[in-house]
Structure 1
Amino acid sequence: MKRILAHTAALLPQAALGHLGWLRGAIGATLAIAATAIATATVLGGYTPALPMIVAPMGASAVLIFNLPASPLGQPWPVIGGNLVSASAGLVAGLAVGAPWLAGGLAVGLAIGGMALARCLHPPGGGTALLFALGATGAEHWGVEHLWAVLANVVVLVACGLAYNNATGHAWPHRMVAPQPRPIPGAPPPFTHDDVTGVLDEWDEVLDIDPDDLLAFIQAVDRQRARSNGH
């Protein structure tokens, strides 16, 4: 795969290449979605219209896995747990409430709460919850058996993410860069983990980056600035 990417270097803009280029992610998502659909259909005994071989939110999960592999929201547990919790929430809401509009809203709300409690927040889970709520209230009357499709989907998709990301230069699950403060003569003390989390608490915001990754980035910027200034 690395050789194929190298041969395209003269034809594509630089942003497409490298272990975080969009081309690497696009190829990985293409292969993974195809493999997920085929494997799920095989496990379920072939494709039937009543039982999907792949659910649409897997496409959004693939974007996170292959193009944002460092995101805390796109790690293996959020992908697996987030989609399964959300699918279950959608079924519960759909079977308990007959009106699709109400079931859909309730499903997404339950999914967000469930994912937060299980520490597996995954944005595509909102789509999974809505899909299952509408499926349960629709003409096909989705039931518990449809959870098997989601289970097979997420297991195969995560397996593809593990194989492809690690083979193409990005460790996945993501390994945080260890903060490496370097004292600079005459400079203020380096930033610490408490500094970063303190600002995040003050802002009352949730950023899609691990605080330690953010700290490592800030410290690297400090070191780069020190080198540029001749320290």
Structure 2
Amino acid sequence: MAVGHLGWARNAVGAGLGIAVAGAVTLLLVGGRAALLPFLVAPLGASAVLVFCVPASPLAQPWPVIGGNLISAIIGLGAGHALGDPWLAASLGVGIAIAVMSLARCLHPPGGACALLCALGATGKVPWGAAFMLPIAANVFLLSGVGWLFNNLTGHPWPHRPPRVPLSPQAAYSREDIQAVLADWNEVLDVEVDDLDAFVQALLRKGAGR
């Protein structure tokens, strides 16, 4: 994550641009249905935080952002129409969305919010229909497009690529050792194995330099 005033300014500017572009273009696409369809959906704000503030996170990559939000939105709408009750639809919609995102390797926290929003919308006084996928899809794709452009222009490759660090002569471990330790811990860390490997290699080289 970028630190310091410049880093936080970069993150804030990027997220603001992403939301602005997504909202403006979606509003044009919605056109005459602006009174019935939203031009921005709330989970997009959380996606913007991930895409622009932690672009190296596995949860912030293009497939999780796009697949996680869209799959969850479809599941939420489906649950709302199938069950009719907002409490049941919200509960099952979010649970199923998390399971499907995990299986599809596109786990994205805002996806849970997207499923919840759509489940509640589909059970409201004016039930949300398939047309609501238009602004949601437009929001997600536009934010991803701005994220790709902005992150790459500001030195944060997106999709993320682990840094290449020369092998340290002090390295007495392998990539499989890292995976074994993570398996022993039985925890999910929000970082890729390749990034962990590069970090340890860089750390060893720093120590060897002293």
TM class by shorter chain equals over 0.9
Equivalent residue number for residue 200 of structure 2: 218
Structure with greater helix percent: 2
Q: What is the rounded CA distance, in whole Å, between the counterparts of 1:139 and 1:49 in structure 2?
A: 15
Q: What is the rounded CA distance, in whole Å, between the counterparts of 2:107 and 2:164 in structure 1?
A: 24
CA contact (8 A) 1:87 1:128 kept: yes
Residue pairs, 1:9-24, within 5 angstroms: 15-17=4-6, 21-24=7-10
RMSD: 1.3
Pick the aligned partner of 2:161 from 148, 157, 175.
175
Q: Counterpart of 1:141 in 2: which secondary structure?
A: coil
TM-score normalised by the chain length of structure 2: 0.95
Q: What is the rounded CA distance, in whole Å, between the counterparts of 1:143 and 1:47 in structure 2?
A: 13
Q: Counterpart of 1:209 in 2: which secondary structure?
A: coil
Q: What is the rounded CA distance, in whole Å, between the counterparts of 1:167 and 1:205 in structure 2?
A: 34
Equivalent residue number for residue 207 of structure 1: 189
Equivalent residue number for residue 54 of structure 1: 40
Pick the aligned partner of 2:151 from 157, 161, 165.
165
Q: What is the rounded CA distance, in whole Å, between the counterparts of 2:202 and 2:173 in structure 1?
A: 11
Which runs of no fewer than 5 residues in structure 2 stay unpaired? none
CA contact (8 A) 1:61 1:79 kept: yes
Which runs of no fewer than 5 residues in structure 1 stay unpaired? 1-13
Equivalent residue number for residue 83 of structure 2: 97
TM-score normalised by the chain length of structure 1: 0.87
CA contact (8 A) 1:181 1:190 kept: no
Q: What is the rounded CA distance, in whole Å, between the counterparts of 2:121 and 2:140 in structure 1?
A: 19
Identity across the alignment (%): 53
Structure with max Cα Rg: 1
Residue pairs, 1:1-231, within 5 angstroms: 15-17=4-6, 21-46=7-32, 48-184=34-170, 189-228=171-210
